[in-house]
Amino acid sequence: MQIRMVATTPFTDQKPGTSGLRKRVQAFRQPHYLENFVQSIFDTIDVPAGATLALGGDGRHYNREAIQVILKMAAANGFGRVLVGKGGILSTPAASCVIRKYKTHGGIILSASHNPGGPDGDFGIKYNTANGGPAPEKITEAIYAASKTIAQYRIADAPDIALDELGDSRLGDMTVSVIDPVSDYAELMESLFDFAAIRALLSNGFRIRFDAMHAVTGPYAREIFVNRLGAPADSVINAEPLEDFGGGHPDPNLTYAHELVEALYGGNAPDFGAASDGDGDRNMILGRHFFVTPSDSLAILAANAHLVPGYQQGLAGIARSMPTSAAADRVAAALGIPCYETPTGWKFFGNLMDAGKVTLCGEESFGTGSDHIREKDGLWAVLFWLNILAARKQPVEAIVREHWARFGRNVYSRHDYEGIPIDAANGVMQRLHDRFAELQACPEQGRGGAQFGHLQVRRCDDFSYTDPVDGSVSQGQGIRILFVDGSRIVFRLSGTGTEGATLRIYLESYEPDVSKHHLDAQQALATLISIALGVSELRQRTGRERPTVIT
């Protein structure tokens, strides 16, 4: 096998965002674009000779081509073995599982998650370290630095590898092992949950529907729900993974998972509904005519973890991203365990889990997971819910309402303004920064915080996080307006989009009064919403009258 050194010049835009490098497929198709980034990863991680790499993706357009390139580059960069999912497929949680189980020198995951796919859609790539989790910021920054000075990459001259047959083949000195992408993951799930109890629930007339949104979870859901748990085959819909996700937007929320939402809110609705995203790490949970917010879901999983075999020994702690509601904090307090608040992105949970400080983690963006792997995990969350439902034998809605009655309700919503001009988005953030002094209390001047009706501002800041394990500091993680009564508004710019800017507004208030728990979140948050629009001048600066997506 011949190894070629190919001369190249840097691209200036290979800065990883919240979760890896995400760009249009066309950007990745530029000559040397993918190769430059992959070489920058390999140059950063110091590949020990003969090391093993895990490799797979969510099956979107360009996945197969990218895998062939990466295999040849891995061979040329000294890897001894690559474990690649059959057909180039590994869901993000399954990739994390494989990295940990086979103790590989990390893995490369090809996904742009919930972003649309196809020739005109998005593609993405990220490196996960040997713990199975997304590389921390110091590594992604080093990869970016390497991408800015790269002058050459190494690639083997070799024929393509057959990805659709299980087994080993050679690529020069390297072994390529094509593995079953589902079995290791399904086995891990079976070790955590009470499959017998869930099987009994499903055979007693409890009906579920899972929407794979034509993305990666179809084969995983079929194996677990249908083959192992005995659900009827039609319980899994849109189960055929397609390279363009059927033209849809594989994002499990009330807007994009509308087929599932219509079924769960329609006549003769199933008892339980769930969906996952492009790469299988997100989850949406629905009951009959009922939506569980991801923030509530995390809190409810924590409060009921003692019912689940894999978590019966107790939780070490809980972590949530800053914009996620504080519902989980209340459960942590009741359980007498710590609750950590991290910046947005799963990479910030890794150190806490590795150090044994937390067991459950969650984000408001439909992400929930635990220390069984180091990624958020869509099907895991669905199984956790099914296990609770099997143990409690109550409807989803009743479980949520009982939870609110006990802990109070953290009323929550996120408003996204997608695809706005970058300058306008930066202008909104700058405007908010400029108003901190005017909004917050100033004890020296004997002045309290700004008053908006019954709400008074306590403090404003731009969230900064010091990792309690390695002391690393991450600044500029979102502007917070915190009110005296515990309500808050958070403004953040997305780090996963590929066009223009996406501005997210996160709104939260706390309602202890059970007689008000039936209120619609948008109604209950109306005052906060109007304060958010007023102080940010969002409408004037972006020309947008309403959000693109409300969750």
* Degrees, nearest 5: CA angle 202-387-355: 150
Place of tokens 């800053």: 322
Under DSSP, the state recorded for 447 is B
Query: Which of Co ion, ligand VG1, none interacts with 18 (beta carbon under 5 to 8 A by kind)?
Result: ligand VG1
Neighbours of 351 (CB within 10 A): 20
The token duo for 31 is: 């000559």
> Is residue 282 near ligand VG1 by the rule CB under 6 A?
yes
> Is residue 113 near Co ion by the rule CB under 5 A?
yes
Name the residue nearer to ligand VG1 (CB basis): 424 or 450: 424
Q: Whole-number minimum distance, CB 387 to ligand VG1, in Å? A: 23
CA trace torsion 154, 158, 163, 164 (10° rounding): 170
Q: Whole-number minimum distance, CB 31 to Co ion, in Å? A: 29
Q: Kindly write out the interface string for residues 187-226 of this chain, putting x where it contacts Co ion by CB under 5 A and - elsewhere.
A: ----------------------------------------
Annotated active-site residue 113? The verdict is yes
Name the residue nearer to Co ion (CB basis): 250 or 287: 250
Q: What residues between 152 and 211 interact with ligand VG1 by CB under 6 A? A: none
Neighbours of 534 (CB within 10 A): 11
Which single residue brings its beta carbon nearest to ligand VG1?
Answer: 113
Q: Which helix (H) or strand (E) holds 157?
A: strand 152-157
Catalytic residue of the set 19, 40, 113, 325: 113
Which pairs with CB-CB distance under 8 Å and at least 24 residues apart come from 509-515? 509/410, 509/411, 509/485, 510/326, 510/408, 510/409, 510/410, 510/411, 510/485, 510/486, 511/408, 511/409, 511/410, 511/411, 512/408, 512/409, 514/404, 514/405
Q: Which helix (H) or strand (E) holds 382?
A: helix 378-392
Q: How far apart are CA 381 and CA 384, in angstroms?
A: 5
Q: Kindly write out the interface string for residues 325-354 of this chain, putting x where it contacts ligand VG1 by CB under 6 A and - elsewhere.
A: -------------------xxx--------
> Is residue 416 near ligand VG1 by the rule CB under 6 A?
no
Query: Which of Co ion, ligand VG1, none interacts with 43 (beta carbon under 5 to 8 A by kind)?
Result: none
Q: Which stretch binds ligand VG1 (CB under 6 A): 235-243, 253-261, 348-356, 494-502?
A: 494-502
Q: Which stretch binds ligand VG1 (CB under 6 A): 298-306, 402-410, 478-486, 490-498?
A: 490-498
> Is residue 496 near ligand VG1 by the rule CB under 6 A?
yes
Which pairs with CB-CB distance under 8 Å and at least 24 residues apart come from 336-343? 340/468, 341/465, 342/465, 343/463, 343/465, 343/474, 343/477, 343/478
> Is residue 371 near Co ion by the rule CB under 5 A?
no
Q: How far apart are CA 252 and CA 214, in angstroms?
A: 12
Query: Which of ligand VG1, Co ion, none interacts with 494 (beta carbon under 5 to 8 A by kind)?
Result: ligand VG1
Name the residue nearer to ligand VG1 (CB basis): 237 or 361: 361
Single out the residue of 281, 329, 467, 508 in contact with ligand VG1 (rule: CB under 6 A).
281
Q: How far apart are CA 536 and CA 289, in angstroms?
A: 35
Q: Kindly write out the interface string for residues 96-115 of this chain, putting x where it contacts ligand VG1 by CB under 6 A and - elsewhere.
A: -----------------xx-
Q: Kindly write out the interface string for residues 66-105 of this chain, putting x where it contacts Co ion by CB under 5 A and - elsewhere.
A: ----------------------------------------
User: CB–CB of 245/289 below 8 Å?
Assistant: no
Q: Whole-number minimum distance, CB 47 to Co ion, in Å? A: 27
Provide CB contacts within 8 A for 61, sequence distance 6+: 25, 117, 118, 119, 121, 123, 243, 244
Q: Whole-number minimum distance, CB 484 to ligand VG1, in Å? A: 27
> Is residue 58 near ligand VG1 by the rule CB under 6 A?
no
The span from the first CA to the last CA of the chain, in angstroms, equals 52
Q: What residues between 14 and 33 interact with ligand VG1 by CB under 6 A? A: 18-19
The token duo for 254 is: 């009330």
CA atoms within 13 A on the CB side of 492: 27
> Is residue 253 near Co ion by the rule CB under 5 A?
no
Q: Which stretch binds ligand VG1 (CB under 6 A): 137-145, 452-460, 473-481, 492-500?
A: 492-500
> Is residue 251 near Co ion by the rule CB under 5 A?
no
* Residues paired with residue 25 on neighbouring β-strands, in sequence order: none
Q: Which stretch binds ligand VG1 (CB under 6 A): 39-47, 53-61, 359-367, 535-543?
A: 359-367
The CA radius of gyration of the chain, in Å to the nearest whole number, is 23
Q: How many residues bind ligand VG1 (CB under 6 A)?
A: 18
Q: What residues between 267 and 286 interact with Co ion by CB under 5 A? A: 277, 279, 281-282
Query: Which of Co ion, ligand VG1, none interacts with 35 (beta carbon under 5 to 8 A by kind)?
Result: none
CA atoms within 13 A on the CB side of 162: 6
Neighbours of 499 (CB within 10 A): 12
Q: Which helix (H) or strand (E) holds 94?
A: helix 92-101
Binding site for Co ion (CB under 5 A): 113, 277, 279, 281-282
- Catalytic residue numbers read 113
Binding site for ligand VG1 (CB under 6 A): 18-19, 113-114, 277, 281-282, 321, 344-346, 363, 365, 367, 494-496, 504
